[in-house]
Amino acid sequence: MKLATYTVEGRTRTGIVVGDTVIDTGIAGTMIDLIRDWDTHRPALEARAAAGGGLPLSAVKLEAPVPRPGKIWAIGLNYADHIAESNMETPQRQVWFTKAQTSVNGPHDAIEIARGTMTADYEVELVAIVGKGGKHISAADAPAAIFGYCVGNDVTERLWQHAGPQWSLGKSFDTHAPMGPWIVTADEVGDPHALGLRCFVNGEKRQDSSTSHLVFNIWQQVEHLSVGMTLEPGDCLFTGTPGGVGAAMDPRQFLKPGDIVRCEIDGLGHIEAAMVAAA
């Protein structure tokens, strides 16, 4: 099932995406509420989807599927080609950083280039959305903890990322975590480690890889993170980006106002947005 957060006539709702339409779930609350009570709501939602109807997607504004996640974690250096282009060694342990809640952005909303800098970069990533979650989750049990997946762009302000030993500030600027266009539930995705993912800038393919090349797979990521914290419904895990980022090109190719960035993943759809100068 595909589940979206959308706004129409000033009201933000959760919906089921069927073809080119979105059907209101009829459930009060946010996507996090829906995920938390998924087992209860699922039969009714399946019936709504089968009945059809709804609004054309063209008539609504798609928001980030989880507009305000409790936590956003992102793993760095998790594809061999990206490690090589970064002139880094393959990590022996997972390298994690956070992205602020306020960096969340809709799948088609403009992405801001920060004042005084011109080093914004793109990073297409598969985003895993936590469902049941929990603590001390083994890799073997991790699949049951994930609700679904969406497309993400770990937009990065390189100047600020490398201004100190911690990356989180350079990863957390407003609008720098676009996600969407919807969540595809895990049962529909199947194996999340066999998905092609690509990023285009102004129609030029910059990144082209597969989640089969993750250094630490998603189940290992869940196991690692849940050792010391409780993963909760709606938490978002950015699972890494492949090679091809602008900072590694010769000469470097950072994003500028007017650029159009499109990120896509097989079976999940795409997000696409224009870069703009921050006010």
Let me know whether 21 and 139 are in one domain: no
Let me know whether 12 and 80 are in one domain: no
N-to-C CA span, the chain: 38
Q: Give pTM, 2 decimals.
A: 0.96
pLDDT band at 86 (very low <50, low <70, confident <90, very high): confident
User: Looking at the domain assignment, is residue 205 inside a domain?
Assistant: yes
Mean pLDDT, the chain, rounded, equals 96
Contact 103, 127 (CB under 8 A): no
182: tokens are 């919807």
User: Looking at the domain assignment, is residue 67 inside a domain?
Assistant: no
Can you name the residues that pair with 16 across neighbouring β-strands? 3, 23
In this prediction, residue 279 carries a pLDDT of 87
User: Looking at the domain assignment, is residue 234 inside a domain?
Assistant: yes
Of 275, 277, 218, 262, give the one whose Cα is nearest residue 107.
262
Let me know whether 83 and 57 are in one domain: no
Let me know whether 79 and 211 are in one domain: yes
Phi, psi of 118, rounded to the nearest 5 degrees = -140, 45
- The total domain count for the chain is 2
Let me know whether 56 and 76 are in one domain: no
Burial class (CB in 10 A: 0-12, 13-18, 19+), 3: buried
Let me know whether 112 and 233 are in one domain: yes
In this prediction, residue 205 carries a pLDDT of 98
> Which run of H or of E encompasses 156?
strand 156-157
User: Looking at the domain assignment, is residue 112 inside a domain?
Assistant: yes
> What is the domain extent for residue 54?
2-62
The arithmetic mean of pLDDT across residues 243-259, rounded, is 96
CA distance 77 to 242: 9
Q: What is the SS3 assignment for 203?
A: coil
User: Looking at the domain assignment, is residue 6 inside a domain?
Assistant: yes
Let me know whether 87 and 52 are in one domain: no
Convert the pLDDT of each residue in 164-215 to its tens digit. Answer: 888 999 999 999 999 999 999 999 999 999 999 999 999 999 999 999 999 9
Instruction: Kindly report the CATH number assigned to the domain that includes residue 153.
Output: 3.90.850.10
Sign of CA dihedral 43, 69, 236, 249: positive
